[in-house]
Amino acid sequence: MNLNSQKRYWKWLLFVAALVAFIAILYYSNILLTDIAKEERNKVELWANALKHKAELVNSTNKFFNEIKKEEGKRAQQFAQVFQKLNEASTSAELNAYLAEIENNKKNNRFPLILAAENGDISYTANEIPEVAAMRNVSELGTHISDYDSLILHYDPADITCYVTIYFKQSQVYTDLKSALDTLQSSFFQEIVSNNVSLPVVVTNEAKDKVIISGNIDSAELVGGAGLAQLLDRMSNANRPIEVILPDHGPCYVYYEESPVLLRLRYFPYIQLFIILIFVVVAYLLFSFARRSEQNRVWVGMSKETAHQLGTPISSLMAWTEILRDSEVDADMVEEMNKDVKRLETIAQRFSKIGSVPELHEENIVEVIRDFTAYLRTRISSKVTIDFPAEKYAPIIQPINRYLFEWVIENLCKNSVDAMDGNGLITIEIIQEQKFIHIDISDTGKGIPPKKQKTIFNPGYTSKSRGWGLGLTLAKRIIKEYHKGKLFVKNSALGKGTTMRISLRKK
């Protein structure tokens, strides 16, 4: 198993572990949310039942209050009739009887009562507060006169202008009951608005087109029309509305849905997993960065040490070639040896430049490729043909580092030779566009499977029995980081060959 395979193995292991953790969190969160939702529904049902019973209590109390009001009205009418009969009394016995009844009603019924002449002068009061009892004319009541009901009694049937007016209010008992009823209704609506389970609640009329009262819900959603209809539809889908009969409103419907706390809890596992995912990604990136930095330091150290170790034997070989050149040795053989020595010097220069920013110089790319292919042809199998017609290209001047750029071409060509098992054709073609220069290196080798066309650039990936799997990684880094270009697999077919492309942006 090579280094890249091990890396993929650990990635899949990490992914499976994260997936198991994700499923476990979702499973446990779902159980927890189900229990919370069940508990909340139980609270809602208790609250809804209490609300319904309280509405029945309010309606019963209101009905009882209306009965009392009717009785109060009847007694007021009877009280007024006593005054009427007092005016019609023909004997002193009848007069005394009616006066006694007035006094009895005054003590028992406790009606606040004012008796006034036609000009408003007050002649009699009963059960009134001292401020009213001290008034001389009903005009002094001002706006408070609207608090009173009134009856007109004509004491001279022949003259309709002769009358007195009886101003009366309901008894204190009635007033206390009405205050209690108002308090009960107010507390009922307050119970809806500030319900103890903090639910979004909306109470509508029977036609469901008007909101009577609401609580724990955004007022913007309560606007009539389509917005209100959508809100009620959403809430009715969550829970069946409760039908209640409210005082002064008749049949109404109470709509409610889950509390905001429960809704937030439903999204909490996903938020938690998102935060964990961010943490894992950041940790993975930091780990990868640290690992790559460490690898880079190792490669840089190894490269510089290699360049240093090559320096002494190369200098010695250069001296020996000069000695051989002065001796009676075949000049062609010495020249070839000199080329190899210079090649070693070039390789040493490449290693020495790793880890530092290389200097770019204006170079003719056509010439660089031509010189390298000419050198390579004599050092590979005679069954491999390198086709690069340099004469058909005009000079292409581009800022590059010659040593490193040759290294990339060499690496790609040697990979092609290995892919063809030392027998086939390597074609190098330069394509110029408006903004880019493309260099395509094609072979007639085995080809690269589609799933590996991206992984071949990963550190440690190799299909050879020997090697570190760093050639293409370094080649891509040289093109991408130092020359601001791209190196990628343009196309590949199994059994037919592969085309690698170098793309450089024109200066």
Nearest alpha carbon to residue 205 among 246, 252, 254: 252
pLDDT tens, N- to C-terminus, the chain (507 residues): 454 555 566 667 767 777 787 788 778 877 887 787 777 667 766 766 666 677 777 777 777 777 777 776 676 666 666 666 665 665 556 656 655 666 666 566 566 778 888 888 888 787 788 888 888 898 988 888 888 877 776 666 566 666 778 787 766 666 776 677 667 666 666 665 555 456 788 888 888 888 887 777 777 777 766 778 888 888 888 888 888 777 667 788 888 887 777 777 777 777 877 887 787 788 778 877 777 776 667 666 666 667 666 777 777 777 778 888 777 777 778 788 887 887 777 777 766 766 667 788 999 999 999 988 988 888 888 899 999 999 999 999 999 988 889 889 988 998 899 889 889 999 999 999 989 999 999 999 999 888 888 788 876 666 665 555 567 888 888 899 889 999 999 999 998 999 999 999 987
pLDDT for position 1:
45
Per-residue buried b or exposed e for 117-155, using 16+ beta carbons within 10 Å of the residue's own CB: eeeeebeebbbbeeebeeeeebeebeeeeeebeebebee
Tokens 């927890």 -> residue: 32
| Ramachandran area for residue 44 (φ above 0: left; ψ -120 to 50: alpha; else beta) | alpha
Contact (Cβ atoms closer than 8 angstroms) between residue 184 and residue 60: no
**CA–CA distances in Å: residue 475 to residues 82, 333, 370, 434:** 120, 32, 19, 25
Contact (Cβ atoms closer than 8 angstroms) between residue 85 and residue 79: no
Structure-token pair, residue 145: 């006169």
Contact (Cβ atoms closer than 8 angstroms) between residue 414 and residue 462: no
Nearest alpha carbon to residue 478 among 398, 373, 406: 406
Structure-token pair, residue 372: 């390298």
Task: Say how far apart CA 416 and CA 500 lie, in whole Å.
Answer: 10
Provide the whole-model pTM: 0.44
pLDDT for position 21:
78
Counting other chains too, the contacts that 137-143 makes at CB distance below 8 Å and 24 or more residues apart are: 138/114, 138/165, 138/167
Number of H-type helices and E-type strands within the chain: 10, 15
76-128, pLDDT tens digit by residue? 666 666 666 665 665 556 656 655 666 666 566 566 778 888 888 888 787 78
Residues in contact with 320: Cβ distance below 8 Å, sequence separation at least 6, in sequence order: none
pLDDT for position 118:
82
Tokens 């964990």 -> residue: 276
Task: Say how far apart CA 102 and CA 111 lie, in whole Å.
Answer: 11
pLDDT for position 452:
85
pLDDT for position 218:
76
Tokens 């029977």 -> residue: 206
383-436, pLDDT tens digit by residue? 999 999 999 999 999 999 888 898 899 889 988 998 898 899 999 999 999 899
